[in-house]
Amino acid sequence: MNWNLDDLPLFVAVCDQMNITAAAEELGLAKSTISKALTRLERSLGVRLLERNSRNIRMTSEGRVFLEQARMILEQVNEADATMAGLVSEPAGPLVVALPMAFAREIVAPRLRRFYERFPAIELEIVITSHPVDVIRDRIDLAVQVGHLDDSELIARRLYESRLCWVTTPEYLASHGLNGGIESLVPHIHICEKRYGIQGFPVRVNGEKRQLDLSRGIIHVNDPIAVREAVLSGLGVTLLPDQYCKRHLARGELVQVFKAVEFEASASILSAVYPSRRLLSNKTRAFLEFLVETCEGM
């Protein structure tokens, strides 16, 4: 089996257009050149990739499998070119990054000036999300995701492991006392982040495993910043990842309470992810290192 790499872009173009004439126009080649490339590929592979006549083209099952591999190969070639070019040039060009809403607003946005000044030639697009993205399908170069990853097609680099804190305002603490154990905590929880709003939320009290029911009678929000702002306005007690309340605790706008009610696990793990089948371009690497430096500073 000895096929020519140069024939792959022609095959992919035909599959995208499902028309040899349109593919030829897109690539600026003669139709005969496209047809010969398809014939060479099929002869080298020993399979029929496309069923075609003068009017129609239909992809075979073998063609669909080979198309997926062809796209991966071309993407790796392009990334290799970009990586090698990056050895002698500054990172430049478009870069699409997906970030969780709170992380983007609180952690990344205040530090973007530093990244821009270091890499002004990178055309950065930040997609703010409230749910995990499909990095490969959505053609995202790099994403930050919360929690453990199940996708084996992604490479993950851990950025930050946060811990949870019970917090309220000094005014709320002064007016309600907040004395007692775990039983006296729940009546003061009026809002929490949605992912914690479960029936058996695990905690430890004096080393003993316990559970809290945060599923009912509580406002659930999928943004920790909104939860924090509601509590700052006097809406009781809540649990927050430390990165979203550190400044407010330091300024005395929030105070920690119920320290004896500890959390079973970390609040969340923030990871930067990118497709394992892609080589890391210099512009993607630049943003990844920016995220690493940012999170180390937290």
The domains located in the chain, with CATH, are 5-86 (1.10.10.10), 93-160+269-297 (3.40.190.10), 164-265 (3.40.190.290)
How confident is the model at residue 52, as a pLDDT? Answer: 83
pLDDT tens digits for 109-128?
999 999 999 999 999 999 99
- pLDDT for position 278: 58
Residue 198 has pLDDT above 90, yes or no: yes
Residue range 73-95, pLDDT digits in tens: 887 777 666 666 655 578 889 99
Residue 283: HSE in the Cβ half-sphere, 13 Å Cα cutoff: 21
For residues 171 and 264, the model is more confident at: 171
- What single-letter DSSP state applies at residue 102? H
Out of 108-117, 134-143, 269-278, least confident range: 269-278
- How far is Cα of residue 152 from the mean position of the Cα atoms in its chain? 14
Give the pLDDT mean for 37-44. Answer: 89
Tokens found for residue 110: 């205040």
Backbone angles phi, psi at 240, to 5 degrees: -135, 145
> Whole-model pTM?
0.65
Q: Which residue has the higher pLDDT, 175 or 181?
A: 175
Please write the tens of the pLDDT for every residue from 91-112: 889 999 999 999 999 999 999 9
Mean pLDDT of 191-197: 93
Contact yes or no for 238/220 (Cβ under 8 A): no
251 vs 13, 56, 155, 170, 247, CA distance in Å?
Answer: 59, 70, 38, 11, 6
pLDDT of residue 5: 85
Q: Return the pLDDT at 84.
A: 66
